[in-house]
Structure 1
Amino acid sequence: MHSTSSEPAEGVFPTAEEYEAVHAALRTVARPGAGGPPCTLNSLFEQWDALVREVEEGYGWSAPELANDLWCRSALARIWPSLPPRIQAVRRSELDEIDRRFHSATVGQPGQDDQAGRWWLRRVPRLLEAETDRRSAHGRPMGWDDLTFPRPAEVEIDD
C-alpha cells in the first residue's frame, strides 16, 4: 500500500512534464470557493481513504452529505485519464485497494449496475450511525429519505 502523506508514492518523483500534467488535471476539478489548501493528487487520495475509513466504521451523516463527501472519488475519476501513464501505474494499486474497501463497506443500490462508471455513487454504507431511533417510511434513519428504494437487508442501523 502506498503512503498517503505528501511524499511521492514509492519514492517515484514526477518529471517536470508529469508534474505539470498532474497540476493541469487538478485544475479541472478545483472546487470554487471551497477555501483551504489547494487540491493535490495526494489530498484527493487522503480524502478518499478517510471517507472510506468513516464508512467502514459507520457513516453518521445523511445521504446528501455522503453524496457531497464522494466528490473526492469523482474528482479522481475525472482526472485519472489526464494523468501521465507512469503516475497512473504508481497510484493504481492504491486506488484499487481503497475502492475495494469502499465496495466491501457498502451495498449496491437495488437494480443499479455496479460495473458502470461512477459506481461509488450507487452504493449505501452497510453501517449507518443514527442519532435518533426515528425511521423513515422505508426504515432508514432520518436524512436518508431521498433514496427511492427500501433499505437493503445488508444495511445495519446503529443507534
Structure 2
Amino acid sequence: MATEIEVGELLHQRGWRTEFTVAERVNAWAALVSTIERGYGDYIHEYTNDLYCRNWLHEAWLLLDDHIVQLWTPQIKALDDRYKAATIEDDGIALDHFHRIPGPDLWWWRRHPRILTGDLGRSLRAAGAIGTDPDTA
C-alpha cells in the first residue's frame, strides 16, 4: 500500500490533472455535498466534473495505506450519507443523457440532486429527473 504522496503521484500519472491530496479531495467532496444540499444550480457539465472528486477518493482508497483509510473513512462515510440524503437514486438514468455512467461501484453517479434548481435542474428535468424546484416553490 502507498502513502498519500505516492497515491497523489500515481493517480496523476494515470491521468488526474494534478497530484491531489486526500484532504483536498475530501474538502472538494464536502463542498459539493453542501452545495447539493442547498441546491446545485450550475451547468450539468460542471456538476459531472465536480463528481469526479469522489471518483478520485474511490481510486485512492484502493491504493492507500490502511491507517490513512481508517483515518479518513468516517468523514467520507458521513459525507456519503449526506449526499445520499440530498439526492435521489435513479440508476443514473438522468445523468446518462449527459455523461457516460461508470460501473456500479461508483454509486454516486446513479443519483441526482433532490433539489432541481438552475441550469442543472432544467437539464436533469428535461432528461426525466423528478425532484423539488425551489425556484417555483
Coarse TM-score class (shorter-chain normalised): 0.7 to 0.9
Larger proportion of helix: 2
CA contact (8 A) 1:22 1:82 kept: no
Match in the other structure for 2:67: 86
1:110: how far off? 4.8
Question: Quick one: distance in 1 between partners of 2:10 and 2:38?
Answer: 32
Partner of 1:129: 117
The aligned residue for residue 102 of structure 1 is 83
Distance in 1 (CA, whole Å) between partners of 2:82 and 2:30 is 9
C-alpha contact (below 8 Å) 2:116/2:124 kept by paired residues: no
Is 1:156 matched up with 2:136?
Answer: no
Cα RMSD after superposing both structures:
2.3
Matching of residues 54-69 of structure 1 within 5 Å: 54-69=35-50
How many residues of Structure 1 are paired with residues of Structure 2 in the alignment? 121
Q: Which segments of 5 or more consecutive residues in structure 1 lack a partner in the other structure?
A: 1-17, 132-139
Instruction: Extract structure 1 runs of 4+ deviating beyond 4 A.
Output: none
Q: TM-score, normalised by structure 1?
A: 0.67
Aligned partner letter, 1:75:
W
1:2-35 per-position Cα deviation (integer Å, ceiling 9, x unaligned): xxxxxxxxxxxxxxxx8x6211111233333x6x
Distance in 2, matches of 1:111 and 1:46, equals 24
Aligned equivalents of 2:39, 2:92: Cα separation in 1: 24
CA gap of 1:74–1:68, structure 2 versus 1, over 3 A, is: same
In the alignment, residue 77 of structure 2 is paired with which amino acid? D
% identity of equivalent residues: 26
Does residue 118 (structure 1) correspond to residue 106 (structure 2)? The answer is yes
- Give the equivalent residue in structure 2 for 1:144: 124
Q: Which residue of 2 aligns with 1:41?
A: 22
Q: AA paired with 1:79?
A: A
